[in-house]
Amino acid sequence: MYEYFIGKITSVTPHYVVLEVGGIGYQIYVANPFRYQVDLQIEQKLYIYQNVKENEITLYGFFDLSEKQIFLKLLSVSGIGPKSALAILATQDLSGLVGAIDNNDEAYLTKFPSIGKKTAKQIILDLKGKMDDIQTPTPMFDQIGLELEFNTEQQYLKESLEALLALGYTKNEVKRISKKLEKFDASSTDEYLRYGLKLLMNK
3-state SS, residue 101: helix
Number of domains in the chain: 3
Per residue in 90-146, pLDDT (tens digit) is 887 777 888 899 899 999 999 898 899 999 999 999 998 888 766 544 444 333 344
The answer to whether position 132 is within a domain reads no
**pTM greater than the 0.75 cutoff:** no
> What value does the mean pLDDT of the chain take?
85
* Inter-residue contact 42 to 8 (CB < 8 Å): yes
Asked if residue 81 and residue 56 are part of one domain, the reply reads no
C-alpha 123/C-alpha 125 separation (Å) is 5
Q: Say yes or no to pLDDT of 164 above 50.
A: yes
Asked if residue 72 and residue 57 are part of one domain, the reply reads no
The pLDDT assigned to 74 comes to: 95
Per residue in 12-53, pLDDT (tens digit) is 998 899 999 999 999 999 998 988 989 888 899 999 999 998
The pLDDT assigned to 183 comes to: 84
The pLDDT assigned to 147 comes to: 46
In the DSSP assignment, the letter for residue 142 is -
Please tell me the least confidently modeled range out of 132-141, 164-173, 190-199. Answer: 132-141
- Residue among 104, 105, 103, 58 at smallest CA distance from 85: 58
Asked if residue 13 and residue 47 are part of one domain, the reply reads yes
Using 50, 70 and 90 to split pLDDT, how confident is the model at 54? confident
The CATH number given to whatever domain includes residue 99 is 1.10.150.20
